Structures are given as C-alpha cells and as structure tokens.
Structure 1
Amino acid sequence: MSILESDDNDLRKLIFEKEKVIVKFINESCPVCQSLAPSFEKFATDPTYSDVTFVRMHADQNPVTSQEVKLTGTPFFAVYRNGTILECGLLSSEEEIKQMLQKLK
C-alpha cells in the first residue's frame, strides 16, 4: 500500500473509515524525518502491514491534529485503531516504528 497524504479534515474521516492507521507528522527541515522516510515507505509496502493505512501529514500545516496528539516535535508518530488513538510520540529509529506498528497487530 502507498502512503497517503492527509490534512486535518481528511484524517478525521480516515481514522473512522480504516481500522488501523499510523500517521507520521513531518517537517520539511527535519533531518530525522528525512532519514526515516525510507523505513516508513518500507513498512507501508510490507505485506505484514497490509491491513494498516499509512499516512503522512505536515505538522506545521495541520494545527488541529497536531494539538490533539500533543505534538512535541518531528518526526512524531500516532497510531489509531477504530478512531481511537492508541499511542503517539517522537520516534527516531526504524525499530521504534516497528514497535509502534506491532501494537496495532
């Protein structure tokens, strides 16, 4: 599955339409965001996670969602199941992304 681009309005609808969603909040000037991009892409195309919807959002362009998850920096990740946030936080490694994805399984 590919990574969807979203915004405040679309994410609301998406987290209720899809059972499992992981959102990566990015900032264009964030070097860690850029270094984790290949890992996020890898997980998005991994058949193990075919039931998870992968979403990317620009933190500075989506203030409502950023406030809801209490965004503290980037890259910030949030996982949702059936419209409810399960976990969120700053991540800095592929292993941390994998651990967050495992909580959706």
Structure 2
Amino acid sequence: MEKIYTRGQLTNWCFKEKIRVTLQKKDMAVVLTTDIDFEKTISENEKVIVKFYADWCGSCKLFAPKFRRLSEDDRFSGIVFIDINAETNENARKVAGVDNLPFFATFRGGVLQHASASSKEEVVVEMLENLKK
C-alpha cells in the first residue's frame, strides 16, 4: 500500500490505491513514488522542497533523518517536504536537473527556484530560508 505523507493540514490523493490521506502537522516528510504525484504536488502547493535519493546512495540514507527533522521544524511549517526516488522517476529528475545525489530542489508555485546536490544540512536550511521569503 502506497502512502503519501504531508506536512500541515494538506490532503493528497494516492493514485495507486485511490485512497484519500489527510495527515496532521506532526507528520513527516512527504514520500512520493510517481512522476504524476510529483507534478501534482509541486503545482498544487505554493512552497515545496524535494529531496531526490536512490536506495544505493549512502549519503542519501545519512541525510534522511535530517530531512525528516527539518520537515518537523516549525520555522518551515508552510513548506511541503518531498522524498522522491531519482532512479524510478525520470520526469521529476529532468524537471529539477538532478546531476548527483542527494539532490535538493525548491519550487514556488510549481516553478523551480533553486537546486543543489549537497549532503550538508546548512545548504538545505539556506534553501528553506530562501523559500520562506
């Protein structure tokens, strides 16, 4: 069963199982598995940060708890956090210009704002601070 996790009082449609999932503020980073979900989420939400990962990527695994913690940080409460597998989602990868992993991209109103391949938390925090403005 596929689950979509969102931050805040957001509701997303789970295409695979066709179930509606509503989660509260305490929930962690978004997990998306298809390009369809990706396009829908970045276009329907004002501020989005995406972490691209691969299952074999050690740096991605090490950054996962940091990303989850940032998604729960009240400073970034108006931002939707997404985890997406770069290997299985070619369209999302192309939209963001992924060239290394882990890779982060911010979107405002569906438009790419900033993108960076980094495993440094301070780089991601700076991206989030810029997205808040």
Give the TM interval when normalised to the shorter protein: over 0.9
Who is 2:93 aligned against?
66
TM-score, scaled relative to structure 2:
0.76
Give the TM-score taking structure 1 as reference length: 0.95
The list of structure 1 runs, each at least 4 consecutive aligned residues, that deviate by more than 3 angstroms after superposition, is: none
Quote the offset at 1:4 in angstroms.
Answer: 1.3
Asked which structure has the greater CA Rg, the reply is 2
1:84 to 111, 119, 131: 111
Q: Which has the higher helix share?
A: 1
Match of 1:36 among 42, 59, 63: 63
- Structure 2 match to 1:24: 51
Q: CA deviation at 1:17?
A: 1.1
Deviation at 1:15, TM superposition (A): 1.0
What is the distance in 2 between the residues matched to 1:9 and 1:54?
Answer: 16
Unpaired segments ≥5 residues, structure 2: 1-6, 8-27
* CA shift for structure 1 position 103: 1.1
SS in 1 for 2:87: helix
Cα distance in 1, alignment partners of residues 131 and 98 from structure 2: 20
| CA offset digits 1:47-66 (Å, max 9, x no partner) | 11110000000000000111
AA aligned to 1:4 is V
Deviates more, 1:66-75 or 1:53-62: 66-75
Percent identical pairs in the alignment equals 33
Structure 1: runs of 5+ lacking an equivalent: none
Residue 72 of structure 1 aligns with an amino acid whose one-letter code is: D
